[in-house]
Amino acid sequence: MATADVQAPVEPAAALPDYVTDPDAVLKDQAHWRYGRAPDYSKTRKVFAETKTMSHEANSLPQLVENLVKNWEVEASFKPTLSDWRTVDHANYSFAINGSEPQNAEHMLKQGTYNAIIAPNEYYSPEYSDFASSHKTFKRMMPTFAWEVLEVYSGPPTVSFRWRHWGVMKNDYVGFNNKGEKVTAKAHGGAIDIQGVTVATVNDKLQLQSVRTWFDPMDMFRQIAPDGVVKKDAVDKSLSPGDALDSDMKAEIDQKPRPKETSTATPAIPDGHPSVNAQKLMKDAGCPFAGTSPKEAVTPYPPAAVDEAAKASGKADKLSHPNLPLRPSMMEVLKSGEQEGVGQDPYITPAPDSSS
């Protein structure tokens, strides 16, 4: 297990809000929970502790960022009432993936976290999926999907960091693609490991405001179907997406995507939200990918090691952060886990037995 270089605490822990010092802070809230009570993250936290690659010092900047994002994810997934969210600046919050049009929190609540971050592609499409079917698709396939901060490149108010999301493909992937076809990829029992970069602004309470994330969603699907072998079926268009996932009935599909949910009452970005210049945001954050060589790249925090021999030979033309292979013991831990909320989610029933 790798150990990260860490920075001294920015300020005394007592002065910090609980959602940056405790990854489970919002789970203790008296709130309107999606399934009647707070989800159980104990298995996810156990898997994270036993298979993470970084160990951050308590109250260091990387750990504060990690805790903030984990609490935000809990609220985005399981608090259907926006007023219950404590991790965001409600008046100034917006979220965007890969330079897409920024959206407000209400958009994510309606579409679901998976549909909000994945663009239509040959494996999955939010246009043919809804909240229920998206949870079936991903939570069945990958019982545990842990998340950690790898490096933090700049501190508040503009925080830029690199992260890792990982798990094991325990069950078949079944979802709808950009043509409305049901796509099935057989489970291979191997690891799925993706990384990305986020640049976020926070207020004086360390609540999220502008959140901009960049990652390659196709990297996940390439790992789901490494040989590109999938089964595609037309489905009965009279069924809801959630029911269609479990149905063996096949019929002509409706080639028209489901209309995106829009709201005339709530704009895409809250009133009063400052305009966001993505290029300036990246510049202010000191994005580590601004240069093409170690000399040009802004020094990340913690520093990334550069192989001096490769650098001297000219082979190190950019900073590289290869994924670390998971030990067999880590794989066993991941396979035994269960993604948070599965036991409480009425949408997540066991997948049908396909062997009969």
Residue 306, both tokens: 């550069």
- Beta strand residue intervals within 113-181, DSSP E: 145-154, 158-168, 173-176
Contact between residue 176 and residue 241 where contact means Cβ atoms under 8 Å apart: yes
Degrees, nearest 5: CA angle 57-209-55? 15
Return the C-alpha torsion angle 164, 46, 114, 255, nearest 10.
Answer: 110
CA dihedral for 283, 284, 287, 292, sign (positive or negative):
positive
With a cut of 70, say whether residue 281 has pLDDT above it: no
Residue pLDDT, tens place only, 223-270:
999 988 899 988 777 788 878 887 765 544 444 454 554 443 334 445
Model pLDDT, residue 309: 57
| Max CA pair span of the chain | 63
Model pLDDT, residue 50: 93
Distance CA 256, CA 179 (A): 8
Distance CA 200, CA 96 (A): 10
Model pLDDT, residue 152: 97
- Please, is 259 exposed, middle or buried when counting C-beta atoms within 10 Å of its C-beta (0-12, 13-18, 19+)? exposed
Q: What is the mean pLDDT of residues 184-208?
A: 96
Model pLDDT, residue 326: 56
Model pLDDT, residue 298: 36
Q: Domains (ranges, CATH) in the chain?
A: 13-287 (3.10.450.50), 291-320 (no CATH)
Residue pLDDT, tens place only, 87-108:
999 999 999 999 999 999 998 8
Model pLDDT, residue 173: 96
